[in-house]
Structure 1
Amino acid sequence: MTETNKAALAALLLRVSLGVMFIAHSFILKYLTFTLAGTAQFFESLGLPAFLAYLTFAAELVGGIALVIGFRTRLVALALVPILLGAAWVHIGNGWVFSAANGGWEYPIFLIVVSFASALLGSGAYALDNVLGQAKAKAQPARA
């Protein structure tokens, strides 16, 4: 396996795992487990407006799907960082370890680092962006 292939596979693994994490936190945690109304109540208990819970859910779900399929990875990974900063803010008073009561802050901070790494790497070779890029290149007329 060449270094280029290894880098492409590493970008795929990082991007997909980050995307699956966002999907799990939006759909499984916020929608199925706590419900959107319950998540909105939690946001309000933190002093945040309830509508932010719905925006967070949507951003995590759509952003997670975009990451999994490799669509605009750099932009999506960076756009989701404010949500992770919010999660770190929520957990900052609980200490370092995420297994502490109410979770710690190391997991959201780690995910911020992973998001920046994904933004730096981009979508990688195995991504929808490449399919779209190839289609765009084929649609452009050849220059003499």
Structure 2
Amino acid sequence: MMQTAYAFTLLRVALGVMWLAHALLKIVVFTLPGADQFFVAHGFPAHSAYVVVAAELAGGLMILLGFHGRAASLALLPVLAGAASVHLPNGWVFTANGGGWEYPAFLMIASVVHALGGDGALALRPAGAQP
């Protein structure tokens, strides 16, 4: 059904933009060294922010364009799990001091829905396309 295809397109575009925005937030606002210090302070390996930002940029672009976007959504789930783990002690609501874990949890679910439902219409590489 065409409405379903456009619904999944909307989900794909929203997820792709979200990933790109979060990568750019780490680059432009926090700076990569600042983001890296935050990651280390929360128990992640040194320089892990650089790996996460690269994954967010590449995965976000893939999702946005619909080029293996479903696989990118699944591949980025560990990043969201890491974000949820950082915010877990702050409680559920993301507006809590330090941010809660509701937003990363919602994005995990949205990513799984994207992976299961597909890229929708106007994807650069629609599901089932030959490589």
Task: Provide the TM-score with structure 1 as the length reference.
Answer: 0.86
Question: What amino acid is aligned across from residue 112 of structure 1 in structure 2?
Answer: M
Question: What amino acid is aligned across from residue 6 of structure 2 in structure 1?
Answer: L
SS at match of 1:118: helix
Counterparts of residues 1-144 of structure 1 (less than 5 Å):
4-27=1-24, 29-130=25-126, 133=129
Runs of 4+ aligned residues of structure 1 deviating over 3 Å after TM superposition are none
Q: CA deviation at 1:73?
A: 1.7
Larger Rg: 1
Distance, in Å, in 2 between the alignment partners of 1:8 and 1:50 is 41
Question: What amino acid is aligned across from residue 43 of structure 1 in structure 2?
Answer: F
Question: What amino acid is aligned across from residue 32 of structure 1 in structure 2?
Answer: V
Q: Which runs of 5+ in 2 are unaligned?
A: none
8 Å contact 2:16–2:60 — kept in the other structure? yes
Q: CA deviation at 1:121?
A: 1.0
User: Which has the larger displacement, 113-122 or 41-50?
Assistant: 41-50
Q: CA deviation at 1:125?
A: 2.5
Q: Which runs of 5+ in 1 are unaligned?
A: 138-144
8 Å contact 2:63–2:70 — kept in the other structure? no
The alignment yields a C-alpha RMSD, in angstroms, of 1.7
Q: CA deviation at 1:50?
A: 2.1
Number of matched pairs: 131
SS at match of 2:95: coil
User: Which has the larger displacement, 82-91 or 118-127?
Assistant: 118-127
Distance, in Å, in 1 between the alignment partners of 2:9 and 2:121 is 8
Q: CA deviation at 1:124?
A: 1.8
Distance, in Å, in 2 between the alignment partners of 1:48 and 1:120 is 30
